[in-house]
Amino acid sequence: MKDYDYKKMAENYDIIESSSNSDKVNENLNNILKRFKVKNVWDITCGTGIQAIYLHQNGYEVTASDYSKEMLDAARKKYAAIKFVQADMRKDSLGKFDAIISIFNAIGHLSKEDFEKALKNINSSLNSGGIYIFDIFNLEFMKNNFITYEFLDTTKEVNDTKFVRFNHNKLNLKKGLMSMNQKTYIQKGIDKPSITKESWDMQIYTAEQLKGILERNGFKIISFSGFDGSKFDREKSNFILTTAQKK
């Protein structure tokens, strides 16, 4: 796993990334956790706390951690009722849990080797029969739908400040590796806009690849679904939301 700099991203993350997808995935998470009678949850890649805060407000005992200090600082400013802890999902343990979650492509920042390290750590941090829920881009979908040109990804306006983000990505199908390149313009009023550029690699998988990796690390697949809980289609679903149970 590379040590990417999330400082600039954290400053405006909630504004740029806010969408109806957040509400949909949170509602779907709640439904899954209720189904398995989950009481305590570890959000192991909590970012600015979008899932952790929602779950805590809906009655779960929540532990939240992230690798990025800047993301955690943003989370703490938003919500003081949760203790946000800096931790590495590949090796750190914060107790035993009924469920562990990592949402918004968080595992994509891990190499294949590091993902397996994280799965071993997650498995050992789950109670018997505990569940792990995570999402990732679907490599099968990307094979036929990947956008090769630069495109306008997001536009937001808050008060008198505009946020415009462009993406220009590359995909190595053989390695399942997407190189993401983002350029964000931030303009207050009619002032000269500031421009931030960010690049990182995102490891992506097919459902079959995930099944093999999870099974050899002590999990069984409960379900693959769309981001919002819709039926998973191997070729048409952009994301794979995976629910796996400790064997």
Domain of 171, CATH number, reads 2.20.130.10
Looking at the structure, do residues 236 and 178 belong to the same domain, yes or no?
no
Instruction: Identify whether the C-beta of residue 76 lies closer than 8 Å to the C-beta of residue 52.
Output: no
Looking at the structure, do residues 170 and 120 belong to the same domain, yes or no?
no
pTM metric for this prediction: 0.94
32 backbone dihedrals φ, ψ, rounded to 5°: -65, -45
CA 181, CA 184: separation in Å to the nearest integer?
A: 10
pLDDT tier at 8, thresholds 50, 70, 90: low
pLDDT at 23: 87
CA 220, CA 153: separation in Å to the nearest integer?
A: 35
Phi-psi region of 129 (alpha: psi -120 to 50; beta: other; left: phi over 0): left
Instruction: Identify whether the C-beta of residue 243 lies closer than 8 Å to the C-beta of residue 217.
Output: no
| Residue 5: pLDDT over 70 | no
The total of other beta-carbon atoms located within 10 Å of residue 215's CB is 13
| Whole-number percent of the chain with pLDDT over 70 | 95
Query: What is the tens place of the pLDDT at every residue in 122-140?
Result: 999 999 999 999 999 999 9
Question: For 7-21, 199-213, 217-231, which range has the lowest pLDDT when averaged over its residues?
Answer: 7-21
Count of domains for the chain = 2
The parent domain of residue 154 ranges over 141-202
pLDDT tier at 13, thresholds 50, 70, 90: confident
CA 190, CA 207: separation in Å to the nearest integer?
A: 46
Q: Which of 12 and 165 is assigned the larger pLDDT?
A: 165
What CATH number is given to the structural domain containing 29? 3.40.50.150
Mean residue pLDDT across the chain:
93
pLDDT tier at 11, thresholds 50, 70, 90: confident
CA 116, CA 230: separation in Å to the nearest integer?
A: 27
Looking at the structure, do residues 213 and 134 belong to the same domain, yes or no?
yes
Angle at 24 (CA atoms; ends 169, 121), nearest 5 degrees: 70
User: Residue 2 class from Cβ within 10 Å (0-12 exposed, 13-18 middle, 19+ buried)?
Assistant: exposed
pLDDT tier at 28, thresholds 50, 70, 90: very high
Tell me, yes or no, whether 2 lies in a domain: no
Looking at the structure, do residues 182 and 157 belong to the same domain, yes or no?
yes
Looking at the structure, do residues 43 and 147 belong to the same domain, yes or no?
no
CA 199, CA 187: separation in Å to the nearest integer?
A: 21
CA 246, CA 13: separation in Å to the nearest integer?
A: 32
Question: For 3-12, 57-66, 67-76, 210-219, which range has the lowest pLDDT when averaged over its residues?
Answer: 3-12
